[in-house]
Structure 1
Amino acid sequence: MTPHPDPITEVDLAAYVDGQLAGPRRLAVETFLADHPLEAARVMAELRINTELRLAMPLPEGGAGLRVSHAARRLQASRLRRRLAPRLGRVAALGLLVAAGWAAHGQLGHLGVRESVASVQPPPFVEDALRAHRTSQLRAGMSSQPETSRFDPAEILSATAIRLPTLPDGWTVSDVQVFPSTHGSSVEMTLRTEGRATLSLYAARPGTFDVVEARLGAGGEADTAYWQIGEVAYALVSTGTDRTDLGQWAGRLSRTLY
C-alpha cells in the first residue's frame, strides 16, 4: 500500500471527530480509516460518545441553556484531542516560559530550576541515572575499562532514538556509554564543565510521554536534576557540586533540545 503523501495525524483524527475538516481532507481521513480498522474503531467510539453527549444534553432555550450546550460541545471536542493536546499544551507552555525568560520568586537564577519543585518525588529514571553514575565512577577507576570520549550524536539518535543536548562551550566529554534500560537503550555521559566540575548526564526512554521542566531531585548520595521532553528523559548527577549550579546547568541543557 502506497503511503499517503500527506500523512494522517492525531490532529486530523480529532478534527474529523469534531466535524471541522474540509471535504478533501475529510475524504483523506476516511480513506485512511478504511485501510486502518483499529484506528477506525477508535474514531467510531469517539463519534458514538459525542452522539450520546448530544442526546443527553440537547439545546434548551435561554442563555443558560446555550452555555450548557456550549460546554457539552467543548467536552465532545476534547475526547480525542486529550490524547495529544495536553502534551502539546505543556510543550507550548514551557516554550513560552523560555521565550519570556520566566524568573519567578524562588527560581535558581536565569534558566535555572525552581526550589519550589525540588521536593517532588523524582521519577524512576532518576534512580537509573544514579546507578549509571555509580557505574561510570567504577569504570573510571579501572585501568582495564578505558574511557571513550568519541561519540557521534547523530549515530546515537539513530541507534537509540535519544537526542542528546548541545553542551555549553568549554564543556568536555570524558566518557560515553550505552546501557540497557527497561524501555530500550540509555546513554550515560561523563562531562566536565568549564569550571572543571564533573557531571554525569543520563538519557533514556522511560516508556511514557510527558513534558517535565528541569527540576532538582532530593539530596542524597549525589545531587540530581532532571527533566523530560516527550518520550526521552534526562538527568544530571553530580557529587559535591553546588545545587544552584546543577539546576542552572539542567535548565540550560534542556533548552537546547527545543
Structure 2
Amino acid sequence: MGYGLYLYGIFPPPGPRLHIQGLDQQPVHAHTLDGFVFLYSEAQQERYLASRRNLLGHEKVLETAMHEGHRTLLPLQFGLIIEDWKAVGQQLIEPHSPKLHRLLQRLEGQREVGIKLMWDEGSELQMLLEENEALRAQRDRLEGQTLSMDQVVSIGQAIEQAMQARRQAIIQTCQAALNPLATEVIENDPLSDVMIYNAAYLIPWDSEAEFGQRVEEIDQIFAGRLRIRYNNFTAPFNFARLDQLD
C-alpha cells in the first residue's frame, strides 16, 4: 500500500529522467506539472524518520540529477509526502508558482558549496597565553590564591574576550578570502562547541576550482589550528527557501 508521493526536488523542464532507486528502493520518476518537473517516488511509509540512511538517500537522488547535468533545481525538504498531483498543484504550485520560478532563475548557473571551521579550544587557549604576556602574567599572579568572585569574573572575562578576538580573526580571514567569489553567503549557526564558523556559499559553477584553492590556502594559513570541512557538491538547500523572497 502506498502513502502518496514522496517529493525530492523541482526542476525546470524538460527535467531529468533517472534510472535509480530512491527511498525504500522505489524507482524515481519525473512528472511535469504546470511548467515544473518534480522528481518523486511512491511513498511506502506514512512518515519517514530523518535517519542518516534516509537523508543520504534523499540527497543522492538530487546529486545524481546534478551529476547528469541537471544543475538548476529546487531541493525540497526531507520527508515531504503529498497525497496526489492534485494536492501538489493546490498546496505548492498555486500559492507559490511565481516564487518558484524566481528561485529557479536565481539558481541558474549557480551551485552551493559549504565550509565549516573547527578548532581545539584548549590548544587555542594555550597559544593565547603563550602569546599574550600581560594576560599570562595576570593569570600567574592569581595562581595559588583564594580568589574573590570579582577576581574570577575579571580573569574569565579577559580570557573570553581574547579568545573571541582570536575566533573573529580566523572568521574574518576566511570571509576575506571566500566572500568575493560568492554570489550570496548564508552564515548558519555552528553545529557543535568546537565549530566556530558554518557558512554556505552560492557561487557560479565554473568558479569552484578557484574557491577550492582558496579553501586550501586558508588551511595552510592556519596549519594545525583548524579542521576544515569543505563540501563542494551539494544541492542548494540553503538558497532555495521561499521565505528568502519575502
TM-score band, normalised by the shorter chain? under 0.3
Greater percentage in strand: 2
Q: TM-score, normalised by structure 1?
A: 0.22
- Report which structure shows greater RCO (CA 8 Å, sep ≥6): 2
TM-score by length of 2: 0.23
